Structure 1
Amino acid sequence: MKKSIALISVFAVLMIAFSGCVDNNTPAVNGTDSDNPETNAISDEDIAGISTLETLPAGFEYVDTIPLPTDETKSDYKAENVSGVLNVSEGIYKDSNETNYYIDVIELENEESANNFITAYKASFPPLSEGSRFTDESFNGHSAVKITEYITSGGETVPRYSYIWSNENYVIIVFGNTAEEAPLRQLAEATGY
């Protein structure tokens, strides 16, 4: 009987120790540890919440939200030399014509890193032979940049648009497989950021 009580006591002590209940540290606020910058990053679930819209513009349908690797994202956006990329999430949407749209949200260490990310991405584009590739626009109380690219589709040269902006330490990019800029603008505005 004494052996089983001792064994139960040992298991109870081990369970308490592994559960973290015997820790004299002050509990972290909102799940972060202010002494450890690695744990100050917003979790994948939180950043996914930014790329997952609660209210969609008419005609849009939510498909999925996926995390993206930071190194691949830096490469895709030609921002390999930008430090401080913490998390990346992509919201995927489609409209009634089955056109795909994306909202990429990139969390960086600070506002300076976010601005550097946008600068690096914009610098990766060659100038257009006619017109302006970058157009400043404003919505949701901030400025954004509309980027115009051209691709060949069905033997024709057609435009593709994207919107990029920062909000504090986040960079948000909205783009899609469409030559129409109005639906992209609607989706960008629907982010609320």
Structure 2
Amino acid sequence: MTKNITLKRSITLISVFAVLMIAFSGCVDNNTPAANGTDSENPGVNVISAENTSGISTLEILPSGFKYVDTVPFSTDQIKSDYEAENVTGILEGFEGIYKGANETDYYIDVIKFEDKEAANNLITAYKSSFTPLSNVSRFTDESFNGHSAVKITDYVTSGGKTVPRYSYIWSNENYVIAVFGNTAEESSVRQLAEATGY
């Protein structure tokens, strides 16, 4: 009798340990992609999952010629103002990574976290609608890198008495929006920093 009870306890303990090992090893499939994993529907696309928003805007590996300066938070009100998105809801947090390039040019990586994918896409739609059409070229160009599409936005500012272009890239990844821009007319350097995000 004692032998049977001991045997049952041993089997029960082994079963409990097996379940715990499976749970902690991550072998249980809950259809949630791993952090910095890939989208099962679109292999090669890095998806953001359970990620720290400020960490996404702070690049560990930088392209040649760039240096990291700081990462600062910005409020929901500031996000709505900067992106002309007063009616957008579901903003959870935002951070801006600040970088310097050649000739001390300023570059920025904005990462904004939303409650869901729809809210993230709503911000991009609102932001794009805040621009007036350009007369001779398209302001918005669809481009792709890191396995996803992004919108390149061309804007013009007056600098040193001349009208010069400024470029930015904006895209959504899961429930995040990432925007990369710089205080430069060099489109390639802005894209290089956008690609360096890995998303």
TM-score (norm 1): 0.76
Deviation sequence 1:90-124 (CA, Å, 0-9, x none): 00000131000000000011000011110000000
The structural deviation recorded for 1:71 is 1.0
What is the letter of the counterpart of residue 156 of structure 2?
Answer: Y
User: For the residues of structure 1 that align with 2:167 and 2:102, how far apart are their CA atoms?
Assistant: 19
1:81: which partner in 2?
Answer: 87
Matches within 5 A, 1:1-193: 46-193=52-199
**Aligned residue pair count:** 151
What is the letter of the counterpart of residue 75 of structure 1?
Answer: S
Percent identity between the aligned chains?
74
The structural deviation recorded for 1:85 is 0.5
Unaligned runs of 5+ in 2: 1-48
What is the letter of the counterpart of residue 63 of structure 2?
Answer: P
Moved over 3 A (4+): none
TM-score (norm 2): 0.74
Unaligned runs of 5+ in 1: 1-41
User: For the residues of structure 1 that align with 2:68 and 2:76, how far apart are their CA atoms?
Assistant: 23
